[in-house]
């Protein structure tokens, strides 16, 4: 009879230990997920910054300004050469 209670106690302790381990893992993974979310937000913000910089550098107004500063002109139709594929 005592052996039966002892085995039930061992099984209950094992179940309790497993439950505590599982909860600890869940909390640990929750912290990791939060860290990854913050890192993802940082990368998204950096991506937006780079896209804005690219769009600024490629804007037609800026290109016109650079072309005028270097005294470039728009070629007339007689000076255009089209290449075939």
Any domain includes 51: yes
Any domain includes 47: yes
pLDDT at position 24 is: 98
Any domain includes 19: no
3 — pLDDT class (breaks 50, 70, 90): confident
Tokens 């179940």 identify what position?
A: 15
Q: What is the pLDDT of residues 10-44, one digit of tens each?
A: 999 999 999 999 999 999 999 999 999 999 999 99
Domain range spanning residue 39?
A: 24-69
Any domain includes 33: yes
Sequence-distant (≥ 6) Cβ neighbours of residue 56 within 8 angstroms: 62
Written as six digits, the tokens of 47 are: 């991506």
> What's the structural domain count of the chain?
1
pLDDT at position 63 is: 87
Any domain includes 77: no
51 — pLDDT class (breaks 50, 70, 90): very high
Any domain includes 76: no
85 — pLDDT class (breaks 50, 70, 90): confident
Whole-number percent of the chain with pLDDT over 90? 60
Any domain includes 43: yes
- CA 63 to CA 57: how far, in whole Å? 8
Ordered DSSP codes for 23-73: HHHHHHHHHHHHHHHHHHHHHHHHHHHHHHHHHHHT-HHHHHHHHHHTT--
Any domain includes 1: no
């Amino acid at each position: 009879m005592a052996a039966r209670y002892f085995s039930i106690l061992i099984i209950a302790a094992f179940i309790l230990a497993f439950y505590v381990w599982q909860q600890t893992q869940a909390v640990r993974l929750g912290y990791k997920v939060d860290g990854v979310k913050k890192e993802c937000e940082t990368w998204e913000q950096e991506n937006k910054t780079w896209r804005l910089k690219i769009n600024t550098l490629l804007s037609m107004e800026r290109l016109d300004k650079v072309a005028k500063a270097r005294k470039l002109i728009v070629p007339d139709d007689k000076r255009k050469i089209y290449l075939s594929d």
